[in-house]
Structure 1
Amino acid sequence: MQTPRPPARRPLPARPDRPLAPGVEVRVHAAQVLDAVVHRGRSLKSELAPVLPRLPDPRDRALLEAIVFAALRGRHRYVPALRGWLQKPPGAGDGPLMALLLAGCAQLDALQLAAHAALDATVEAARALGRPHQAGLVNALLRRAQREGFPSADPAAAWPDWLRTRVAAAWPAQAAQVFAASAQPAPLWLRVNRRRIGRDDYRALLDAAGIASAVDPRLADALRLDAPVPVAGLPGFDAGLAAVQDGSAQQAVDALAAEPGARVLDACAAPGGKAAHLLERDPTLELLALDADPRRLARVEDNLRRSGVAPESASGRVQVRAGDATVPAQWWDGFTFDAVLLDAPCSATGVVRRQPDILLHRRAQDIDALVQAQARLLDAVWPVLRPGGVLLYATCSILPEENAGQIAAFLARTPDASATALGEAFGHAAGAGRQRLTGEDGLDGFFYARLRKAC
């Protein structure tokens, strides 16, 4: 049964006698995105995607993202304060008002924007949203926020009870650090395209542009920017000299360690960053990039094209194909693969700082469904791996049932599978694999397990 398509976003209700100033338009968009995410269960990524292109100035796009992310990260502090200041609880139709107030709180608190500019633009946004009768209330509440500030709160309070309990039980010594790191903005990690430029040479380009970067000795192609910049400001970004990819995701290629010229399956390839990285490392690979969602394959092809390894220019050695990895009959030609990369769908609990809406939308029952889907994927792709070949199972989860527990169950039911040890560079020992926790060395939470098929 098809999921009903959500209603189209309504156009901005601008006043005909006064066009929206850019600062006001950003706040209107922020309120609309937050209302959809917080009150209507929409995905942050899907809500931002159509909005950002409407703002031609990259500074406005960056401001919109900063406001929305800060509001979601600070929501567990802002909402109790706002409810305490309101004379009566917000009504069923006050979602847009509360969303705008969240945006205002984030500007004053987390972003520390100039108060007069943030207040004026946010109050005017209330009028632009068709709520002139509430503009005075927005002004009064935000001025109170400016005077009194917000109480501090344990970052763990942002997590739903059931998920906070699971993380604390799994990682009792590190849970506080995980919660704290998940509440902070992530650094910008770049993957330098070694086919086009050396990492040191690209770092020199960044230095010349006044952009500071750092090297992690474990990550051969990575640079970390602790003060993120818009990608439009990165030297040679459009020419494919570098791509945005967290260092933990980059390590998947190291953990797979495919042999030169190997035949490789990237079983859940979208959006294509790992496929591109594999080919940047070794253009002699024969790669099948597979994804079940045909709509996402355009992004895979774009990423490969930027890296200079587009399917049409790779002499037939690179294929991008729609197909469900759990049904090999749809896409497998019968020739086995030397290596399989299975970056499995997961709870994404290791990337909350990049996707803060996870804490709003994830449900306990989701985990059981994901664990079952991961098991089906492992069982389905194992037969397409040749004897002696390797499979890397990876997730951006920090929950053991998706990671160490998942691999333990697979090894128990798969006699010809064994685990290959990975070093400390990949994180904490976790069963037959390795687990990095959110924020460690500035990296995302990630799990890796390297499995070998008996000859």
Structure 2
Amino acid sequence: MNPKVGRYPTHPKNVRADAAWVLFQVLEHGRSCQELMPLIFERHETQQRAWLQEMIFGCLRDIPRLQLWLRQLLDKPLKGEQKPIEHLIMLGFYQLSFARTSDHAAVSETVNAVELLGSHRLKGLVNAILRNFQRQETKDQEIKQPHVQSGLPKWLYKQLLTTYPEQFESIVEQTNQRPPLWLRVNQLVSSVSDYATALKNENIEHEIDNATNAILLKQKVEVTQLPMFQEGAFSVQDKAAQYAALLLDVQADEHVLDCCAAPGGKTAHLLESQPNLASLTAIDSESQRLDRVHENFARLGHDKRFEGRLSILCKDASLFGLNEDIPKFDKILLDAPCSASGVIRRHPDIRWLRKKDDIENLRALQQEILENIWTLLAPGGTLLYATCSILAQENKTQILSFLSRHPEARLKPINQFDTDDSPGWQILPGEAQMDGFYYARLVKSA
């Protein structure tokens, strides 16, 4: 198979060739950065990995602009085995426009990467396009199309503008920001204050959020080099996601179900927030994602600490419990599969992987899971519905529809804006430095 289109990078190691290969795989083959980045990271040292992530994520945040420039300067689209060179050219545009790379290096090193991707004959074309880009000062030309300026696909641009006319500009701005780094202290290993002291001793700037005890790091760090990483003293988790355990409020001796649990951040937080729970069952339909749960729990010490009370199962949440005699659960967390439109700043490939038609399919799947899991909730029990979406179809509209079908379900408001007419708590990207998130808390009549 040609190295440019294979599932693994087989071309010679080179940061620009590797970055172009990832862009090509995301945009032309619909593969995720979560899958692709480890494949190229293992080829490079730490400093080069940081450059790769900055370039790849930067390009993905600005694809409409880069594609517009490409159409202006490339007479005919490249096809077949030459297609990855288009992505290399866009990488060159990004370096010349937004990176701290010198113009000379941006052009010469990008041209050199053409040969490494197996298209030696196109070196002259790429050189000419990048030189014309500089000569014509293309990056300074006015862009009139609003969705191009936003960096969003047109369908998502229109939907967000319709749903959030007043907050739209802020959402777009936040969606294109680099995400903050939040930590959740594992208080079975260290107190928040002790861990904050450990950070201070390492001269790592941070602040503690009083509402959640989450710690916001104020500088770039390598997570594995933070104090007590191997001892499991903390996990990386956005502040919005840390509200799940707080809102579900598990009590001692309760039986808990965590649906769609991988990679296990919220599951771990449930255990840490109530170590005296009776049992916790975590399910996910993808066995590979459950491997990450086991890895995370081993580092945190939860696999041994909760042995006998913790079950991690590969199960489809829409079918779990059917034709099985499963005891009812006191508390259920349903972290439903969703568009992930609230975490685009953290995963910029989502804006190109997610398509307009996906939203209805996801809504239907969420409804199917919610209907099934509701049957497993004990009378008087609480179900917390959560998504990392900011689209109404997956959130408020979904819960309104559920409540209309289930008179035995009532809303337990999270705040004063959480009402029967407008259920749940919608967090927008950047709000209190959080990712976009949605929660609705439902109680089953006793």
TM-score (norm 1): 0.89
Correspondence for 2:114 = 126
Cα deviation code 1:287-342 (max 9, x no counterpart): 111111122111111112222111x4423001111111111336965211110000
- Alpha-carbon shift at residue 234 of structure 1 (Å): 2.0
Aligned length: 435
Q: Which structure 1 residue ranges, 5 or more long, are not aligned?
A: 1-5, 15-19
Correspondence for 2:8 = 9
Match of 1:44 among 13, 33, 49: 33
Distance in 1 of aligned mates of 2:420 and 2:429: 15
Distance in 1 of aligned mates of 2:93 and 2:215: 33
SS across alignment from 2:357: helix
Correspondence for 1:193 = 186
Tell me: CA distance 1:260–1:117, structure 2 relative to 1, closer, same or farther (3 Å): farther
Conserved 8 A contact 2:329-2:378: yes
Correspondence for 2:395 = 403
Cα deviation code 1:387-413 (max 9, x no counterpart): 111000000111111101111111111
Correspondence for 2:354 = 362
Distance in 2 of aligned mates of 1:8 and 1:435: 38
Distance in 1 of aligned mates of 2:79 and 2:67: 15
More divergent stretch after superposition (100-109 vs 149-158): 149-158
Correspondence for 1:17 = none
- Alpha-carbon shift at residue 271 of structure 1 (Å): 0.6
Conserved 8 A contact 1:422-1:433: yes
What percentage of residue pairs aligned between the two structures are identical? 39
**Aligned 1:265-414 pairs, distance under 5 A:** 265-285=257-277, 286-310=279-303, 312-329=304-321, 333-414=325-406
Distance in 2 of aligned mates of 1:428 and 1:71: 40
Match of 1:443 among 419, 422, 434: 434
Tell me: CA distance 1:119–1:347, structure 2 relative to 1, closer, same or farther (3 Å): same
Distance in 2 of aligned mates of 1:152 and 1:160: 19
SS across alignment from 2:334: strand
Tell me: CA distance 1:430–1:35, structure 2 relative to 1, closer, same or farther (3 Å): farther
Structure 1 segments, 4+ long, off by >6 Å, are 426-430
- Alpha-carbon shift at residue 175 of structure 1 (Å): 1.3
Correspondence for 1:111 = 99
Conserved 8 A contact 1:85-1:141: yes
SS across alignment from 2:16: helix
Distance in 2 of aligned mates of 1:109 and 1:216: 36
TM-score (norm 2): 0.91
Question: Quick one: which amino acid aligns to residue 222 of structure 2?
Answer: P
**Aligned 1:140-219 pairs, distance under 5 A:** 140-145=128-133, 148=137, 149-151=139-141, 154=146, 157-219=150-212
Tell me: CA distance 1:331–1:235, structure 2 relative to 1, closer, same or farther (3 Å): farther
Cα deviation code 1:141-187 (max 9, x no counterpart): 33454562344655664323322222112111111111111112111
SS across alignment from 1:162: helix
Correspondence for 2:58 = 70
**Are 1:431 and 2:422 matched, yes or no?**
yes
Distance in 2 of aligned mates of 1:66 and 1:331: 49
**Aligned 1:214-293 pairs, distance under 5 A:** 214-220=207-213, 222-285=214-277, 286-293=279-286
More divergent stretch after superposition (209-218 vs 180-189): 209-218
Question: Quick one: which amino acid aligns to residue 32 of structure 2?
Answer: S
More divergent stretch after superposition (290-299 vs 223-232): 223-232
- Alpha-carbon shift at residue 30 of structure 1 (Å): 0.5
SS across alignment from 2:375: helix
Conserved 8 A contact 1:126-1:132: yes
Conserved 8 A contact 1:187-1:228: no
Conserved 8 A contact 2:9-2:18: no
Correspondence for 1:3 = none
Distance in 1 of aligned mates of 2:243 and 2:440: 12
Cα deviation code 1:123-156 (max 9, x no counterpart): 2222222223333433443345456234465566
Tell me: CA distance 1:399–1:429, structure 2 relative to 1, closer, same or farther (3 Å): farther
